[in-house]
Amino acid sequence: MKTKRGKKFLKVIAVIAAVIVAFTGITTVVTVIGLNANLNKAHSFSAVDVEKIKAENVSEGVWNIYSDKSLKILQLTDTHFGGGWMSLKKDSMALNAVAAMIAAEKPDFVIVTGDVAYPVPFQSGTFNNKSGAKLFAELMETLGVYWTVSYGNHDTEAYSFYGRDDITELYEQYPHCLMRKGPEDVDGYGNQVFNIVNSDGIITRSLFTVDSHSYVDNDYFGIMWKYDNIHENQIEWYKEIVEANRKSNEMKLLSSSDSAFGERNLAAMNPKSSVFLHVPLTEYKDAWNEYVENGYADTENVKYNYGEAGESGKVVYPGIYDDNFFETMQELNSTDTVFCGHDHYNNFSLEYKGIRLTYGMSIDYLAYSGISKLGSQRGCTMITVKPDGSFDCVAENYYQDKYATDMREEVTMQELGSAE
């Protein structure tokens, strides 16, 4: 009797094993075929007709972008390319969205504030985060626009196949990608500054990309939403760059005997800067809460620019610890704008204690349940940096006429937030 039961048990195990093997084989084939189809699609878009910026990597973590004209910077965030068999259709939709907006806006430079890839297996069907990252990189190379990334929490999950070092090496292979590891003695990958330099050699504005890391406090899989903060050595690096840029401009101004030189560069003694990261700073939460508690009206500290908070619960999900990044920005009086992603339904922009805090419009079709059928949160943020270093920024929704293509899907334009 025991022998018969044992044989039945072994047969059941064999059947289960055979099903697993068959399922794995089928999904592998589907992934390979589908991913190749999406890569071919990424290659099918036309290159964007834009005059290429002149960018030079002058030292570890420091780039110069040489220009006397206004520059168009396009912020994307949370593109969430799954790269697996379960996300093929949604990856295709994300390709359409990114390509359509870049083609219409013709930016000089694209900055992605994290979560390019989304290797969460029960939604994407893969642990391979390089597949999603490559899909985006191939699209950007086809479009022919310079770009970089500040990493998010999903780009390299604890269980995904590849770490930040591997994905950075992948990105570095693409001629239009300006992302590099950054300084060896600074935590994270992609801590860089892009200084916009005019023909007088003056830095008119700096664009910082900062790695906001991933999960902490034993929340390895991110199920408790415990996010890291900006580390102290990153803040010190930022401070050193701001002070070095200020000193560089000062020396050029003082050494020039041309009176018109100073007139052309009135703001040069204190060059302004913008910071791009994935996870919002705690001050995003402080600003929004103060605005809401005042009846959705401006306060002494908070000035509303645009947008809504569409997330539920805590609304803003920053790092769980304290850091002094925002206070350092205030102290140095250089950074006047911060751009983040992470909370996909938030797209508000508030000025808080003199610094404008802005959520980028997200792309995500995959991570949030039902988000592929909703459209009020999806789009990009256009930032125009003027020759004097001043800037304008505006949120651009994907479902407006200028981005219309025959590949764009129908969605519900839901109401974000509430002013009750």
- Predicted confidence at residue 351, as pLDDT, reads 98
Which H or E element spans position 89? helix 88-105
Strand order in the sheet with 71-76: 146-149, 109-112, 71-76, 379-385, 391-397
Render each residue's pLDDT in the chain as its tens digit; 420 residues: 556 665 665 565 654 554 444 545 556 666 678 788 999 999 999 999 999 999 999 999 999 999 999 999 999 999 999 999 999 999 999 999 999 999 999 999 999 999 999 999 999 999 999 999 999 999 999 999 999 999 999 999 999 999 999 999 999 999 999 999 999 999 999 999 999 999 999 999 999 999 999 999 999 888 899 999 999 999 999 999 999 999 999 888 888 777 677 667 766 788 999 999 999 999 999 999 999 999 999 999 999 999 999 999 999 999 999 999 999 999 999 999 999 999 999 999 999 999 999 999 999 999 999 999 999 999 999 999 999 999 999 999 999 999 999 999 999 999 998 543
C-alpha R_g of the chain: 23
- The DSSP 8-state label assigned to residue 155 in this structure reads T
Instruction: Give me the residue label for tokens 């059947």.
Output: 15
At 260, the amino acid letter reads A
Instruction: Give me the residue label for tokens 């001629």.
Output: 175
- Predicted confidence at residue 31, as pLDDT, reads 67
Q: Do residues 210 and 231 make contact, with C-beta atoms less than 8 angstroms apart?
A: no
- Predicted confidence at residue 163, as pLDDT, reads 97
- The DSSP 8-state label assigned to residue 251 in this structure reads H
Terminus-to-terminus CA distance in the chain, angstroms?
71
Has this prediction a pTM greater than 0.85? yes
Q: How far is CA 185 from the centre of its chain?
A: 23
State how far the Cα of 281 lies from the Cα of 152, in Å rounded to an integer: 13
- From residue 98, alpha-carbon distances to 74, 145, 166, 340 in Å are 11, 12, 24, 18
- Predicted confidence at residue 19, as pLDDT, reads 45
Q: Do residues 120 and 157 make contact, with C-beta atoms less than 8 angstroms apart?
A: yes
CB within 8 A of 176, min separation 6: which ones? Answer: 140, 141, 144, 145, 146, 147
